[in-house]
Structure 1
Amino acid sequence: MACVFCGIVDGLEPAWVVWRDEEHVAFLDRSPLDEGHVLVVPRRHAVTLLDLAREEAAALGAASHRVARLLHERLHPHGLKVQQCNGRAAGQVVMHLHVHVIPRWAARRSPMGRRWTGRRAPEGVLAEVHARLTGP
Structure 2
Amino acid sequence: MAKSPLPPRDAECIFCKIVAGELPCHKVHEDEHTIAFMDIFPASPGHVLVIPKDHHPDLLAMPDDLLGPVMAATRRVALAVAKSQGPDGMNLFQANGVAAGQTVFHFHMHILPRRTGDGVLSTEHGKRAGDHAMLAREAEALRGALADM
TM bracket, shorter-chain basis: 0.7 to 0.9
- Please report the RMSD computed on the Cα atoms of aligned residues, expressed in angstroms: 1.5
Alignment partner of 1:38 is 2:44: no
CA distance in 1, matches of 2:108, 2:86: 23
**Structure 1 partner of 2:28:** 18
Question: In terms of Rg, which structure is larger?
Answer: 2
Q: AA paired with 1:74? A: S
1:57-136 alignment, distance < 5 Å: 57-106=67-116, 109=118, 114=120
CA distance in 1, matches of 2:29, 2:41: 18
CA distance in 2, matches of 1:55, 1:73: 29
**What percent identity do the matched residue pairs reach?**
40
Q: Which residue of 33, 53, 60 maps to 2:63?
A: 53
Q: AA paired with 2:109? A: V
**Which residues of structure 2 form unaligned runs of 5+?**
1-10, 122-149
Q: AA paired with 1:92? A: Q
Runs (4+) of structure 1 moved beyond 6 Å? none
CA distance in 1, matches of 2:99, 2:26: 28
CA distance in 1, matches of 2:20, 2:76: 21
CA distance in 2, matches of 1:72, 1:45: 28
Shift of 1:114: 2.9
Q: AA paired with 2:75? A: H
Normalising by structure 2, what TM-score? Answer: 0.70
